[in-house]
Amino acid sequence: MAALALIRHTRRDQVFAWRRGEAIDAGRFLADARALAERLPRDGPLLNGCQDRYHFTVGLAAALLAGKQSVVPHNHLPQTLGELAQRFGGLHALIDSGPPPQHIPYRRYPDDYPGLENVTAAGAFEVPLIDEDHIAAWLFTSGSTGAALAHPRRWGQIVRSSVAEAQRLGLYGCDDVALLATVPAQHSYGFESAIGLPLLGGGVLAAERPFYPADVHAELARLPGRRALITAPVHLRALLASALPPLRIDLILSATAPLSLELAQAAEARFGAEVIEIYGSTESGQVASRRTVHGTRWQPLHGVVFAVADGITTAHGGHVGPATPLADAITLHDDGRFELHGRIGDLIHVGGKRSSIAFLEAQLCAIDGIDDAALLHREGSDGAPTRLTGFVVAPRLSQPQLLAALRRRFEAAFVPRPLYRVAQLPRDGNGKLPRQRLIELAEACAAERTRGMPAGTTADGEVTTDAGADQSADAAADPGVDANTAASDERRA
């Protein structure tokens, strides 16, 4: 079995991470990882729940040094943790903030390890080697279209994926580009780009994960040298909407949802950055990229080959390995590049017309004045398709302005009905909207509308009829916007 290095760094004094404005070199990182590995329980996998990205990476490395597998759950809900405890025998957790996990023994980092972060490197700089076939991490799908599924990532896959991404981005071996992320390390995209990239490909890890635009701006501003932002469309849109001082960003990565041409152009003009989209899945890992302003075609990462047969898209080769089915429909071109049409399950037919949820949501989000938007498509009890339900965060748009914008961008069959104004959407930390959350939001909005005003009453008190999909185009083009705001316990990411 081949063994591959734990980190790409070759010198003790190479900057590995920035944390709270201070540089952490590669020697210190390895010392921290070794010290933590000695203190981990001997048996069982490690659930890595650390939110500080440096702590998370030390935990990942320590687990590898101890011969363990890391379990990286998509959330820490009691039900999820209970299921993980049953699936992974001897599971124990490492956390650095928040309440303790239920059902799982845990330790806090660094509280349970006094002096861990003060370990000083001594002796020769030796980088540990890890068996490339070792399952380094279990990653989970977000559950956006159903139950979350676990997928193993072997160490060799992680190394080759990180190198392929770094080479594509021109970051391979770079130590002068700090990588700040707004997405969590516990999702595939954040794991690959915010952890794997600086660990094994290029760039310097930034430990913080800022949430609000002002915090993102402040963390970027205190990073030295060149800086890159690893983010999602919903986070990027919020940053652009803020009235913060000009700030140079050298590279912006985006994933988790389609990025509109308008948003990419605005980001490049505002920050002077190249905006690159990453395409992939938890099943396959990252597999392609594109610079959005240069066109719609995606370029596979080094060694990755796409194929389409019987309507099923697969990727194989490179770090992906054997053919892995993907949930998206594509058009494959002779040069190996492809165009992406959205998830196969997102393709819908309404009133004899065909489109995709992703495309229609992008059209909503492209409307000036809409800060965020989502669509829900459900079938009736008899299996017949229903109309789309829409949700928009648009505090600056009046109802007439919103209706006029919808009529300019949407065919009548695809105008959402009803269309609810909400204060925020219940996105997860990666900017995604699990389907069940949208269903619950739709039910809450419908109940609130029923309590607050007659069905079909719009924000201005105008009463409209609840048109079905088979009504005339003129009637269907009036969505009846509901101004009621559904309650949500989650902040918009």
Encode pLDDT of 312-355 as tens digits. Answer: 999 999 999 999 999 888 999 999 999 988 776 666 766 556 67
pLDDT tens per residue across span 447-465: 888 776 443 333 332 223 2
Compute the average pLDDT of residues 421-439: 84
The mean pLDDT of 29-36, rounded to a whole number, is: 94
- pTM, rounded to two decimals: 0.77
Domain co-membership, 314 together with 409: no
More confident residue, 15 or 187: 15
Q: Are residues 277 and 367 in the same domain?
A: no
Select from 290, 318, 342 the last residue of a domain: 342
Instruction: Supply the range of the domain harboring residue 463.
Output: 351-482
Question: Is the per-residue pLDDT at 484 higher than 60?
Answer: no
DSSP codes, 421-474? E-S-----TTS---HHHHHHHHHHHHHHHHHHS-TTB-TTS-B-----TTS-HH
How many domains are there within the chain?
A: 2
User: Averaged over 146-160, what is the pLDDT?
Assistant: 88
Domain CATH for 441: 3.30.300.30
Residue 491 belongs to some domain of the structure: no
Q: Which residues contact 127 (CB under 8 A, 6 or more apart)?
A: 5, 6, 7, 9, 10, 30
CATH number at 127 reads: 3.40.50.12780
pLDDT at 467 over 80: no
Q: Which residues contact 138 (CB under 8 A, 6 or more apart)?
A: 45, 69, 70, 71, 72, 88, 150, 151, 152, 153
Last-in-domain residue among 323, 342, 361? 342
Question: Quick one: 390 and 288 in the same domain?
Answer: no
- Residues 273, 417, single domain; the answer is no
